[in-house]
Chains A and B, each alone.
Chain A
Amino acid sequence: MAKTAISKPEPGTVVLRPSRGWTALNLRDLWLYRELVFFMTWRDLKVRYKQTLLGVSWAVLNPFLQMVVFSIFFGELAKVSSDGLPYPIFAYTALLPWTLFANALNNASRSLVSHQNMVTKIYFPRLLLPLASVMAGVVDFLLAFLVLIGMMIYYNATGATHLTLNWAMLTLPLFLLLALVTALGVALWLSALYVKYRDVNYIIPFLAEVWKFVSPVVYSTSMVPAKWQFVYALNPMAGVVNGFRWALLGTQTAPDLRLAISAAMAVIVLVSGLFYFRSMEKTFADTI
């Protein structure tokens, strides 16, 4: 029996037959549907803040209020070291990529199940659902970033910091990209698993909570013992947060081997996530 996924039909022809083993990634299909990624992202954003009193300001309030809470408990009461910086700006800089990641974990991981009527009724590359969810978070990130600029100006004016424009700031998009790669990779794994195992729904909040504390969000990487630094770097979000602090606040966390470890982990998670997602994709409509 000729049961292989690979077939070379003439242009415009689709052959549907059972596939075996690892399926090719078929990213071309994703490209054909690129407009839909845009529409779904736009819809996510549009719908998210409808019928909310404060609307889009939640994008800013969410990390901002967390910062306030952390500043009181970790900064003032527990006196956690913030590498000589005012604790609020130290925490907020980390909360920006962290919120992006946590939202992606929440929304993108649930994206397939929450769109199950689309999945069972229409064909489109399923990859597009988690992708659009992650992308919607970028817009929130940009809004929250404006507040950070405000904070930098404020702390410079009060003399608490002496931040200057420098070339390191130009690397920021790369750290943002690293956060997105990590978020998408984790979301691909979780969203595909969620289709089959509803347990994922209960694991997500727990995972997000634990992950936040193994990332240097409320504390500084310098608190981690030296012998554990390389193990610690296996968490890609550690690389992201350290990168953000280094690029924006000039902390002593300049890119080094640890960042390379973080980046490699992020790529491993993304690529394995892509292949796992693709191999499960054909059964989504039947199992969801």
Chain B
Amino acid sequence: MKPVIRVENLGKRYRIGMAPLKYETLSGKITDALSAPLRALRRVQSPKADGADTIWALRGVSFDVKQGQVLGIIGRNGAGKSTLLKVLSHITEPTEGSVTIRGRVGSLLEVGTGFHPELTGRENIFLNGAILGMKRAEIERKFDEIVDFSEVEQFIDTPVKRYSSGMYLRLAFAVAAHLEPEILVVDEVLAVGDAEFQKKCLGKIGDVAQQGRTVLFVSHNMSAVLRLTQESIVLEKGRLTLRAPSPEAVDRYLSAGHSQAGERFWEADEVPADAAPFRPLSLRLCDGRGRTVDSVRSTEPVIIEMEYALSAPVTGLRIGLYLNTARGEAVFTTFDTDEPHMFEKHTSRAAGQYVSRCTIPADTLNAGRYGLGVNASSYHIKRYFQDDQALDFSVDAAGAPGMHWVETRPGVVRPRLEWSIEAKRK
């Protein structure tokens, strides 16, 4: 059988100057033109300088997808997943290589694109359906089904600007989910919405696959990837590094790119340019005696140190840590200025080098693998930097409560709780 999607030696190059928010202007173009001869001269002298302002978001990627297959695409932020989906869904053109697609591609790159806040739910269903490539007759036929799925029936004639974010999202997903393309491209839509609705969405994607249609599924939620896909590809720095059954690919993803022994360093070229003035240096995991470790005991405190530099003063900076299980479920999120006295003391940080240190108390985590993500932001102002999979480590339950019974304890936490047993009657 011929593949539905054939990707051959695909490459996409971006000029760094093309980054969002940096527009070319006519005056820029004019100075550019004037200095062109000078640059040409310099290029003759050092031919390498030419490639300096371009980056390959994707390079040499080749793979096939068979009809009815649900393929997972996993990789860290900046690995090229979004670029790949944008090329596959015809939004941007490849720089080299080719993609051959048989059938209509429907993409859920971001649900609700083209929704207009002033229009009612009903009007937006028609508009959004048309934007996604549905015929009017098709939308009319599925209208009731869409409204039913979205659970916003009562508000269907209300402008969507009055919707809660949950309702808005449900309606948007409902339209997209009824598109019925031969090939469905899904990107991280499940990151939002309540648990009940997420379940419904996953179910819908599962149904699509059951009907023999092809699904490309991109997610950071490893348990969703494992549940929905049999096979996955792993992207690292724009290259396809592994195609394997999903459990193997997920393992690779969770362990790839991490420095050994509980430490992660960021090289200058790994940090996006728009992170400035923030620059991450390292993230380290230490045990109670200050040694860097990648495996900690549940019964001992764990110290997490984030080291970073600021090239300019930053107001309202907060360093966040995200702890997730290996399956991608969130355990907790914490920020260095969560405590009011810390928040008041560190309203502004001057330029310089810093360490934000956090201690997870003893007897907190259950045995298993965990992933640590970091984030640096100023609340409501700017997110400087984020790495969802900066470091991973394992927790050993030796000495934890209940270890005298040899059994697996479900649950993410393993706290030492106080029990008492009283005899009520003898």
Using a CB–CB cutoff of 8 Å, the interface residues on chain A facing chain B are 3, 9, 12-19, 33, 35-36, 39-40, 43, 46-47, 50-51, 115, 117-124, 196-199, 282-283, 285-287
Give the residue among A16, A39, A47 with the most B Cβ atoms within 10 A.
A16
**A-B contact sample (17 more), CB < 8 A, given A16-B90, A124-B131:** A12-B103, A13-B100, A14-B100, A15-B99, A16-B88, A16-B99, A17-B99, A19-B93, A36-B131, A39-B127, A39-B130, A43-B123, A118-B131, A121-B110, A123-B105, A197-B29, A287-B24
Chain B 273-317 interface mask (CB, 8 Å, partner A; 1/0): 000000000000000000000000000000000000000000000
Pick the contact of B18 from A16, A197, A286 — CB < 8 Å? A286
What is the distance, in angstroms, from B213's C-beta to the closest C-beta of chain A? 14
Task: Write the chain A residue with the least CB distance to B110.
Answer: A121
Q: A14-B100, A118-B113 are in contact. Are A39 and B126 (CB under 8 A)?
A: yes
Task: Write the chain B residue with the least CB distance to A15.
Answer: B100
CA distance A199 to B114 in the complex (A): 26
Whether B92 contacts A285 by the Cβ 8 Å rule is: yes
CA distance A105 to B118 in the complex (A): 24
Pick the contact of A285 from B88, B91, B102 — CB < 8 Å? B91
Q: Give the size category of B's interface with A.
A: 35 or more
Residue B135 lies at the interface, judged by CB distance under 8 Å to chain A: yes
User: B94 — which chain A residues lie within 8 A by C-beta?
Assistant: 16-18
User: B419 — which chain A residues lie within 8 A by C-beta?
Assistant: none
Q: A43-B119, A50-B118, A51-B118 are in contact. Are A121 and B136 (CB under 8 A)?
A: no
Pick the contact of B93 from A33, A118, A120, A282 — CB < 8 Å? A282
Main secondary structure of the interface of B (DSSP, over half): mixed
Q: List 17 A-B contacts (CB under 8 A).
A: A14-B90, A14-B105, A15-B101, A16-B94, A16-B98, A16-B99, A16-B100, A18-B96, A35-B136, A39-B127, A43-B119, A46-B123, A120-B86, A197-B24, A197-B29, A285-B92, A287-B24
User: B113 — which chain A residues lie within 8 A by C-beta?
Assistant: 117-118, 121-122
Q: A39-B126, A46-B123, A198-B23 are in contact. Are A14 and B114 (CB under 8 A)?
A: no
CA distance A40 to B119 in the complex (A): 12
Whether B97 contacts A17 by the Cβ 8 Å rule is: yes
Whether A118 contacts B114 by the Cβ 8 Å rule is: yes
User: A17 — which chain B residues lie within 8 A by C-beta?
Assistant: 94, 97-99
Whether A199 contacts B26 by the Cβ 8 Å rule is: yes
CA distance A117 to B29 in the complex (A): 26
CA distance A50 to B120 in the complex (A): 12
What is the distance, in angstroms, from B413's C-beta to the closest C-beta of chain A? 39
User: A282 — which chain B residues lie within 8 A by C-beta?
Assistant: 92-93
Residue B89 lies at the interface, judged by CB distance under 8 Å to chain A: yes
CA distance A9 to B29 in the complex (A): 39
User: A286 — which chain B residues lie within 8 A by C-beta?
Assistant: 14, 18, 92
What is the distance, in angstroms, from B109's C-beta to the closest C-beta of chain A? 5
CA distance A122 to B95 in the complex (A): 19
User: B90 — which chain A residues lie within 8 A by C-beta?
Assistant: 14, 16, 123
What is the distance, in angstroms, from A29's C-beta to the closest C-beta of chain B? 10
What is the distance, in angstroms, from B387's C-beta to the closest C-beta of chain A? 23
Whether B101 contacts A121 by the Cβ 8 Å rule is: no
User: B29 — which chain A residues lie within 8 A by C-beta?
Assistant: 197
Residue B264 lies at the interface, judged by CB distance under 8 Å to chain A: no
The 9 closest A-B pairs by CB, nearest first: A123-B90, A17-B98, A282-B93, A39-B130, A16-B99, A285-B92, A121-B113, A36-B130, A50-B118
CA distance A117 to B112 in the complex (A): 10
Whether B91 contacts A122 by the Cβ 8 Å rule is: yes
User: A35 — which chain B residues lie within 8 A by C-beta?
Assistant: 130, 135-136
Whether A122 contacts B114 by the Cβ 8 Å rule is: yes
Residue B25 lies at the interface, judged by CB distance under 8 Å to chain A: yes
What is the distance, in angstroms, from B97's C-beta to the closest C-beta of chain A? 7
User: B101 — which chain A residues lie within 8 A by C-beta?
Assistant: 13-16
Give the residue among A115, A121, A197 with the most B Cβ atoms within 10 A.
A121
Residue B116 lies at the interface, judged by CB distance under 8 Å to chain A: yes
- Interface positions of B from 31 to 51, Cβ below 8 Å from A: none
Whether A16 contacts B87 by the Cβ 8 Å rule is: yes
Residue B107 lies at the interface, judged by CB distance under 8 Å to chain A: yes
Whether B130 contacts A199 by the Cβ 8 Å rule is: no
CA distance A148 to B109 in the complex (A): 48
Residue B132 lies at the interface, judged by CB distance under 8 Å to chain A: yes
Task: Write the chain B residue with the least CB distance to A193.
Answer: B26
Q: A12-B103, A39-B130, A122-B131 are in contact. Are A198 and B93 (CB under 8 A)?
A: no
Task: Write the chain A residue with the least CB distance to B22.
Answer: A287
CA distance A19 to B86 in the complex (A): 16
Whether A46 contacts B99 by the Cβ 8 Å rule is: no
Whether B130 contacts A12 by the Cβ 8 Å rule is: no
What is the distance, in angstroms, from A38's C-beta to the closest C-beta of chain B? 8
Residue B166 lies at the interface, judged by CB distance under 8 Å to chain A: no
- Interface positions of B from 8 to 32, Cβ below 8 Å from A: 14, 18, 23-27, 29
Chain B 56-95 interface mask (CB, 8 Å, partner A; 1/0): 0000000000000000000000000000001111111111
Task: Write the chain B residue with the least CB distance to A283.
Answer: B93
User: A51 — which chain B residues lie within 8 A by C-beta?
Assistant: 118
What is the distance, in angstroms, from B194's C-beta to the closest C-beta of chain A? 24
Whether A122 contacts B96 by the Cβ 8 Å rule is: no
Residue B399 lies at the interface, judged by CB distance under 8 Å to chain A: no
User: B23 — which chain A residues lie within 8 A by C-beta?
Assistant: 196-198
Whether A18 contacts B114 by the Cβ 8 Å rule is: no
What is the distance, in angstroms, from A109's C-beta to the closest C-beta of chain B? 15
CA distance A245 to B250 in the complex (A): 72
User: A196 — which chain B residues lie within 8 A by C-beta?
Assistant: 23-24
CA distance A121 to B133 in the complex (A): 13
CA distance A122 to B98 in the complex (A): 19
CA distance A74 to B26 in the complex (A): 37
User: B133 — which chain A residues lie within 8 A by C-beta?
Assistant: 33, 124
Whether A122 contacts B132 by the Cβ 8 Å rule is: yes
What is the distance, in angstroms, from B186's C-beta to the closest C-beta of chain A? 13
User: A43 — which chain B residues lie within 8 A by C-beta?
Assistant: 116, 119, 123, 127
User: B87 — which chain A residues lie within 8 A by C-beta?
Assistant: 16
